[in-house]
Amino acid sequence: MKILFIHTFYRFKGGEDNLVLDEMALLQGAGFTVELLKFKNPATFFGALLPLFFLPFNLFSFLATVKKIRKYRPDVVHVHNWHFAASPSVVVACHYCKVPVVLSLHNFRLICPSATLLHNGELFLDSITKKFPWKGVMLGVYRNSIIQTFWLAFSIYLHKKLKAWQKVSAYIVNSEFEVKIFTQSTLGVPENKFLLKCNSIPDPPFEKGIKRNDHFLFIGRFVPEKGIDVLLEAFSKVNFKLVIYGYGPMDQKVKNSTLLHPNISYLGSLPHDKLSEELCKCTALVFPSIWYEGMPLTLLHAFSTGTPVIASNIGAMSTMIEDHQNGLHFKAGDALDLAQKLEHWNNLPEMEKEAYGLRSRKTYEDRYTPESNLKSLRSVYDSVKK
């Protein structure tokens, strides 16, 4: 089977970009023929003006997609991120070429311009049930800009009216929770088009009874929805060591916290091939996200290395993390509750911490192996292939 991946890479490389490359390698290793049509968002404001202007329909992206499809002749096109350089025109191009298209939903952009259902650090759900998200526009939920939010909302609305989203062959989501959110929205896509699939990562070397250090670990982008403020506030209240790896617009705030609190260390961006190694060193991973995450790859890496996770009890984390089994829950956005959970974890006997680690590894083996992911992908492609 020939699969064409389409993906717009982010300015700051994140888990979604890595997932695309990992799934391509997984499919190729299983005998699929896979190629990538790659788009990239410009790094500068002025460079982004033209593709942003063409967001409702980017003729260049449309023609590039049509050309690629006609030359490669895929059985299925799998779109990951179309925002914003690719634009929804890549989906239209698939319809034009009469090739089945699968769209992975890594966020909630199709039903709210915020993409995260979050605004000013709080959940923002108003757009879900509105035909047009006027409140979100007036609040500037996308980049704090009324103009850019309107343009993005209009682009999505236009293709909803043209029934482009309804013509997608299948949508890939990671949880029943996401299915519920999308089917209750005004997107107009029937429930049977949403197909559940767990992500996966390659199995790293795993050793039982590994001797871990006493520091906690955070890995991720420095953006508000990742709970950076909660993380820094919680560790300002305790003396436990925190090692931070990451990048993003809040990096100065993170650096300032290391100057004020000697227990917090910032070590820059972590190379992807060093991720498992760093997870094996820590006592637990802290995941303080405050939005409805889909299926964060960082959690899968933690499970694969037998690393317990202390996570906010919201979205995917509420089901992926089993409280007092493979990790601990704390109330989303509550730094004091996080600090108390850190204290609780630190006081556990080493033997009990090791048991958490073994259950974390079992979570990976049961749900998130490449074999499970490959089976799900094959099932999705078979269901839409003409």
Domain CATH code at residue 54 = 3.40.50.2000
Residues 28 and 99 reside in one and the same domain: yes
Tell me which residue range forms the domain holding 242. 216-367
Q: What pairing do the DSSP bridges indicate for beta strands 216-221 and 284-287?
A: parallel
pLDDT tens track for 208-260: 777 899 999 999 999 999 999 999 999 999 999 999 999 999 999 999 999 99
Residues 228 and 307 reside in one and the same domain: yes
298 falls within a domain: yes
CA distance 134 to 136: 5
CA angle 153, 145, 316 (to 5 degrees): 65
Identify the pLDDT of residue 66. Answer: 98
Check whether 15 has a pLDDT greater than 90: no
pLDDT tens track for 276-302: 999 999 999 999 999 999 899 999 999
Residues 151 and 221 reside in one and the same domain: no
Residues 63 and 161 reside in one and the same domain: yes
> pLDDT band at 176, cuts 50/70/90?
confident
Residues 98 and 223 reside in one and the same domain: no
Give yes or no for a contact between 360 and 184, defined as CB atoms under 8 angstroms apart: no
112 falls within a domain: yes
Structure tokens of 73? 């002749």
Identify the pLDDT of residue 9. Answer: 93
CA distance 309 to 316: 13
> pLDDT band at 11, cuts 50/70/90?
confident
Check whether 121 has a pLDDT greater than 90: no
Check whether 316 has a pLDDT greater than 80: yes
DSSP 8-state code for residue 323:
B
Structure tokens of 252? 């100065």
Identify the pLDDT of residue 272. Answer: 86
Give yes or no for a contact between 303 and 363, defined as CB atoms under 8 angstroms apart: yes
Percent of the chain surpassing pLDDT 70 = 99
Residues 347 and 377 reside in one and the same domain: no
63 falls within a domain: yes
Number of structural domains, the chain?
A: 2
Residues 123 and 30 reside in one and the same domain: yes
Identify the pLDDT of residue 156. Answer: 97
Give yes or no for a contact between 6 and 90, defined as CB atoms under 8 angstroms apart: yes
CA distance 359 to 308: 8
Give yes or no for a contact between 223 and 250, defined as CB atoms under 8 angstroms apart: yes
pLDDT tens track for 181-217: 999 999 999 999 999 999 998 898 777 777 899 999 9
Give yes or no for a contact between 237 and 299, defined as CB atoms under 8 angstroms apart: no
> pLDDT band at 98, cuts 50/70/90?
very high
Identify the pLDDT of residue 13. Answer: 74
Identify the pLDDT of residue 210. Answer: 79
Residues 232 and 162 reside in one and the same domain: no
Give yes or no for a contact between 94 and 72, defined as CB atoms under 8 angstroms apart: no
211 falls within a domain: no
Residues 176 and 27 reside in one and the same domain: yes
